[in-house]
Amino acid sequence: MLFKRNICVLFLGLFCGCGIAMADVFSHPVNKKSKPELEKSLAKVMNYEVASGDFKQTKSIKKRNRKFISTGTFMISKKNGIIWKTLKPIFSELALNNGGVFERDSSGQSQMLLTKENPMFADFSSNIQALFSGKIAQLEKNFNVFYEKQSCGFRMGLVPRETMVRMVIANVVIEACKNIDKVIITDAEESPVTLEFLNYKIVGKAAPERMSSAP
């Protein structure tokens, strides 16, 4: 369950796109004044039907001063779900749709990671919905939310509420300008995983009432 929750947090971070550096977002907890602003900013960067592009992921092992870099493509459809392909240095693919979460490995073998009945799936869907619709209140159920306005866009910080989850993932930082540009996930040993989003393409600006539809 907790293991699944960790994946959920990763998902959450990855979904949000890309951006820029860590900085001091965690000294700006979201408040009554900043919450509407964050909701508006989120809704703005999430205003699409389908988003796709490339990503570059850098996993840094702080203790060993080691880096693992991988690249791939992603496609996010508010209607049909998410496809996430890691292409180099080794292939793997993950798909999320209404039926659950599926994985395909380098040998081409597929397996279901989560069924649609799984609570983590429901959690993930509700978090995604919250992000798509900019409903911060929903996100606040699982995270302490932080917000910092930038010269271009914003920076959002998420700290898991659960101590047990924090023992695996300390925090997530999402940075966005016109789109979500960067996500940094830091583990309990302060080793960050940075996802940078490149060649970002969006198709179809969503009408305001459709923005809250589930993936």
Q: How far is the CB of 190 from other proteins (least distance, A)?
A: 10
Task: Please give the distance of CA 45 from its chain centroid, rounded to a whole number.
Answer: 13
- By beta-carbon proximity to other proteins, the closer residue of 152 and 164 is 164
Q: What does the block give as tokens for 183?
A: 């996500």
- By beta-carbon proximity to other proteins, the closer residue of 24 and 189 is 189
Residue 198 contacts other proteins per CB under 8 A? no
User: For residue 178, is it left (φ>0), alpha (ψ between -120 and 50) or beta?
Assistant: alpha
From residue 92 to residue 111, what is the string marking binding to other proteins with x (rule CB under 8 A)? Answer: x-x--------x-xxx----
Torsion angle (degrees, nearest 10) of CA 136, 141, 144, 145: -10
Helices (H), 22-107: 34-45
Residue closest to 131 by CA, chosen among 84, 100, 65, 176: 176
Residue 123 contacts other proteins per CB under 8 A? yes
By CB under 8 A, name the binding residues for other proteins. Answer: 1-3, 5-7, 10-11, 14, 55, 57, 59, 61, 63-64, 66, 68, 70, 72, 84, 86, 89-90, 92, 94, 103, 105-107, 117-120, 122-123, 141-142, 161-165, 167-169, 187, 189, 191, 195
